[in-house]
């Protein structure tokens, strides 16, 4: 930062920003910010992807036309959180020390990529900006390891971009200085607005050709580590039972690429109206949310996206770090017990009043201008 002298004049140097991400949700939520920084004359913006996810990350990079400057390409099948954490720690350090030392390193959310990149920056005394800061469940094992990752990033970061006032309050309780917290909205709303449209034509997509769009659509995603094993078995069994009983619905499940999940889904889903498909590109997926009757998910991002499209969400978890949409009535946390999941889905299908009361377009996550607020803040750091 600061100033350089050129031809006797003072020219302001650009602020050097390195955005680091590695998984699908981080990429979706960082993409609009990266695009905005690319076009900003005061910012020298570079992108480092860790490749914690490979195909699911590359698909997002392609949609948003982002060419990373650095790619650690770390993914291996069946990777552990120790694998990710150690490879990212060394890989990001190498870039900072040998290739591009930023004035600010941005990470997003709560993945192991984000935590480890923030730690790497801290070791090199590079200030960290945390996008999507301050989400908390209060339980360090749920979501696991994400709750601990985001708490640790909160301690490592200098600047905190919180989607909501509630997220800011969580940070204040952890004694983070109010001056360094900016409430921005969630950048996922910026991304969602950029890809959804009313007249979206699903028929041109090969990966959706087996879906019967004359039926009502229930959209399912399920991938979280704390649900692996018995909870996920119960979730799948309950949903399969619903599918068998309510054949007028088509349950569309783009299965996460984790081989353990692919295998369990193959075992448990016997109903022919559960359509297991490969992960969808974000453009198709976002528009499929808009087309669905309702959503079943343990995903974080979907709890933010679906409410803004007026779609009820039943959360297949025991808690949520996103209470705003629960308070607004669009999202309900239904736990992971088989009977309860079955009853809650049945209730939403059969009870019109319940459905109508949940199907409200509410959007506690911002006006789609979150990235502008973050960019303006970053520019204000130029001295
Ligand atoms: C990670 C994040 C989680 C986030 C999720 C989003 C951590 C610890 N977890 O979990 O917070 O919600 O991403 O999806 O950071 N795979 C592929 N291709 C891909 C992506 C994954 O084959 O494009 C397979 C690989 O075998 C990989 C496995 O999925 O080893 C698991 O991926 P990993 O990033 O370790 O965990 P996620 O469950 O995806
Ligand atoms: N998503 C997608 N294709 C899919 C499933 C999900 O593009 O097949 C998007 C979804 O819209 C959301 C994000 O991926 O923006 C959520 O990612 P994921 O569920 O993997 O992670 P989480 O949000 O739980 O961290």
Q: 301 CB under 6 A from ligand 2?
A: yes
Q: With H, G, I as helix, E, B as strand and everything else as coil, classify residue 181.
A: strand
- Report, as an integer, the average pLDDT of 250-275: 97
Separation between Cα atoms, residue 60 and residue 77, nearest integer Å: 20
Separation between Cα atoms, residue 280 and residue 253, nearest integer Å: 10
Mutation test residue for ligand 1: of 23, 255, 285, the one with most atoms within 8 Å of CB: 23
Q: 282 CB under 6 A from ligand 2?
A: yes
- Residues of the chain above pLDDT 70, percent: 97
Q: If pLDDT is split at 50, 70 and 90, which confidence band does 6 have? A: very low
Predicted local distance difference test score (pLDDT) of residue 362: 84
Predicted local distance difference test score (pLDDT) of residue 383: 78
pTM of the predicted model as reported, rounded to 2 decimal places = 0.96
Separation between Cα atoms, residue 139 and residue 136, nearest integer Å: 8
> Would you give the distance in Å from CA 255 to the centre of its chain?
16
Summarize pLDDT for 8-31 with one digit per residue, the tens.
445 568 999 999 999 999 999 999
Ramachandran area for residue 41 (φ above 0: left; ψ -120 to 50: alpha; else beta): alpha
User: Where does residue 369 rank: exposed (0-12), middle (13-18), buried (19+ CB within 10 A)?
Assistant: middle
Summarize pLDDT for 221-230 with one digit per residue, the tens.
999 999 999 9
Q: 157 CB under 6 A from ligand 2?
A: no
Predicted local distance difference test score (pLDDT) of residue 3: 44
Q: Which of 364, 246, 250, 254 is nearest to 299 (CA)?
A: 254
Supply the mean pLDDT for the chain. Answer: 95
Mutation test residue for ligand 2: of 21, 25, 303, the one with most atoms within 8 Å of CB: 25
Asked whether residue 1 carries a pLDDT value surpassing 90, the answer given is no
With a CB cutoff of 8 Å and minimum separation 6, the contacts of 18 are: 46, 47, 48, 95, 96, 100, 102, 104, 105, 106
Residue 188 Cα to ligand 1 middle (Å):
19
Q: With H, G, I as helix, E, B as strand and everything else as coil, classify residue 233.
A: helix
Asked whether residue 347 carries a pLDDT value surpassing 50, the answer given is yes
Summarize pLDDT for 174-210 with one digit per residue, the tens.
999 999 999 999 999 999 989 999 899 999 999 899 9
Q: If pLDDT is split at 50, 70 and 90, which confidence band does 361 have? A: confident
């Amino acid at each position: 930062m600061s100033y350089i002298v050129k031809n006797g004049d003072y020219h302001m140097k650009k602020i050097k920003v390195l955005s680091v991400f590695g998984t699908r949700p981080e990429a979706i939520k960082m993409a609009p910010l990266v695009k905005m920084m690319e076009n900003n004359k005061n910012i020298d913006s570079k992108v480092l992807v860790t490749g914690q996810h490979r195909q699911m990350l590359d698909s997002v990079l392609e949609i948003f036309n982002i060419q990373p400057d650095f790619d650690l390409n770390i993914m291996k099948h069946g990777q552990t959180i120790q694998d990710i954490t150690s490879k990212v720690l060394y890989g990001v350090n190498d870039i900072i020390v040998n290739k591009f030392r930023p004035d600010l390193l941005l990470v997003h959310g709560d993945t192991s990529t984000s935590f480890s990149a923030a730690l790497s920056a801290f070791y090199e005394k590079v200030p960290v900006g945390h996008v999507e800061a301050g989400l908390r469940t209060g339980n360090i094992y749920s979501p696991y390891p994400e709750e601990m990752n985001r708490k640790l990033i909160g301690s490592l970061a200098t600047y905190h971009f919180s989607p909501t006032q509630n997220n800011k309050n969580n940070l204040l309780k952890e004694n983070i200085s109010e001056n360094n917290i900016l409430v921005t909205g969630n950048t996922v709303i910026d991304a969602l607005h950029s890809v959804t449209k009313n007249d979206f034509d699903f028929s041109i997509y090969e990966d959706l050709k087996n879906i019967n769009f004359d039926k009502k659509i229930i959209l399912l995603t399920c991938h979280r580590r704390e649900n692996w094993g018995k909870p996920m078995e119960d979730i799948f069994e309950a949903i399969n039972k619903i599918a068998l009983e309510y054949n007028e619905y088509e349950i569309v499940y783009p299965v996460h690429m984790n081989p353990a999940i692919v295998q369990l889904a193959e075992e448990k889903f016997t109903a022919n109206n559960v359509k297991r498909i490969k992960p969808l590109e974000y453009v198709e997926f976002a528009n499929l949310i808009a087309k669905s009757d309702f959503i079943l998910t343990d995903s974080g991002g979907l709890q933010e996206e679906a409410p803004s499209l007026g779609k009820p969400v039943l959360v297949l978890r025991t808690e949520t770090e996103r209470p705003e949409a629960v308070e607004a009535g669009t999202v309900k946390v239904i736990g992971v017990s088989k009977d309860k999941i079955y009853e809650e889905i049945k209730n939403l299908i059969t009870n019109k009043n319940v459905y109508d009361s949940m199907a409200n377009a509410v959007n506690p996550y911002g006006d789609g201008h979150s990235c502008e607020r973050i960019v303006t803040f970053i520019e204000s750091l130029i001295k």
